[in-house]
Every structure is written in structure tokens, then in C-alpha cells.
Amino acid sequence: MIRRRMLDGLALAGLIAWAGLWLVPLLWTVAVAFRPPDAALTAETLWYGGGLSLDNFKEAWDAVPFAQYYVNTLLIVGGILIVQLITVTLAGYAFARRPLPGREGLFLVLLTQILIPTGALLIPNYATIRALNLYDTRLAVMLPFFASAFGTFLMRQTFRQVPIDLDDAARLDGANWLQTLRHVYLPGARPALVAFALVSTIFHWNDFFWPLIVLNSDAKLPLTVGLAKFTQMGESGAQWSLITAGTLLVIAPLLVLFLIFQRQFVDSMLKSGLK
């Protein structure tokens, strides 16, 4: 018993140390972003020795059209998410409960998408976007992600937890498959949908390379590409105060989103069977 407590204590201490190590870059970013612009970047002024200031955020916001970048990012991320929630829900239900010929084989083929690196698909996806005359459009950023193998797998695992007797009872009551999905399966799948929405939002909010390839107009750029251009504006070396302020402007919504929905995210992963 004592040995187990000691091992648990060591494990907890290790996790705390790892979390502290992970927080160091974030704390440094926050400290530099709120440092007055005219204060020298030294050990004495780094941790608010020179006071707090929002001037870096104002200057960063005025330097590039961050408002437009936010709108573009919200349109891209929201558009992808809305379509994904529909496709992964229907596909997950089909693979979990619908009697499809070759269902398990098709599901294995679908899962191979997870094994393919995203970078390996850049050239064929770019060629497809060019062939469809969608280059330099927000739809070009969204189109390759309208389906998700991970989301389909997550929803399939979630729907398989629903007792098959409820499905049979719904059919005896005269419900069609769409009514069964809506009234029997979806109410208990909300935590999984929230978890998938979080994963999808974080991934596409942070996506950089694909939007950089298919977008050219500055008015259509998302936050990640806009931030990259913002960091290249300085002519006298890296302006760390502005760069860190711009970085916080980009990642702040994600941090708030995860803090709000972290319980639903963890619960859904446990209930869906993902370890």
C-alpha cells in the first residue's frame, strides 16, 4: 500500500513537472506580450518589472488586418465543422448500425486515411482544386476536409454503445432510420460531437500549410498565414513584443474554448472507447 502511494506520488510529481515545462513557453509569451514596448527585454523587466501594458496588442492589431483574418478563420473553421458534423454522424451511424454489404471492409479502407500523412496529399489536392477552378477561394481550403476518418471512427464507437434493443423498439414504433438516428442515437452522442468539434476546430484553426498553398489574396487569409506575414514585417530584427502579442491574439480563442469544454472532451474520449 505504501509502495503504491509512493509510486502514485512520483507519477503525480512527474506530471506536474512536465506540465510546468510545457507552460514555460506560454508564460514567456504572455510576459513579453504585456511588457511595455519601450522597456528593454531583460531579466528585470521580463516578469512585469516595468509594469503592464496593452500597447503591443494595439500596435499588432493595427499593423495587419487581424479583424479580417478572424472573419476568414471563423468562416473556414465553421464551414468545415458544419459539414463534418453531418458527414461523420451519417457515416458513423451507417458503419455502426446499417446493414451495408462489405461494411467492415469499407470501414477499414476509410481508416487508412488516418495512416496517410497530410503532406502526401498536398499535390493531388492542389491539382484537384486547380481543376475545379477553386484556387484562391475559402472553399478550396475547406473542401478536402469535409469528411473525416477520425470523426467517423469516433461516432461509430459512440453509436455502438447504444443498446440495439432501442433501435429495434424505434423500428417497431414506425420510426425510419433518420428518426431513429435523431431521437435514439444523437441525444447520447452529444459529448462525442463536442469532442470532435473541439479537435476539428483546433486543427483547422492552427492549419497553416494548406491555406498558404491555395490562398493568395490577403483579404482571404486565415490567422495563421496572416500571423506569418506579420512576423516578416520587421526590418530591424525580430520584434518579440509584437510577435508574442500577435501570437496571443491567434491562440487566445482556442485556450478559452478548451478550458470551457475540456470536461466534455475527456468524457467523450472515455465513453467512446478511445484510450
Q: What is the pLDDT of residues 98-110, one digit of tens each?
A: 887 888 888 888 8
pTM: 0.83
> What are the sequence ranges of the domains in the chain?
23-53, 64-271
**Exposed / middle / buried, residue 33 (Cβ in 10 Å: 0-12, 13-18, 19+):** buried
- Model confidence pLDDT, tens digit, residues 200-258: 998 999 999 999 999 988 889 999 998 887 777 655 455 778 888 888 888 888 888 87
Residue 187, C-beta contacts closer than 8 angstroms, at least 6 positions apart = none
If one counts every other C-beta atom within 10 angstroms of the C-beta of residue 39, the result is 16
Class of the CATH domain delimited by 64-271: mainly alpha
> 186: which DSSP letter?
T
| pLDDT for position 33 | 82
H or E element, residue 28? helix 2-33
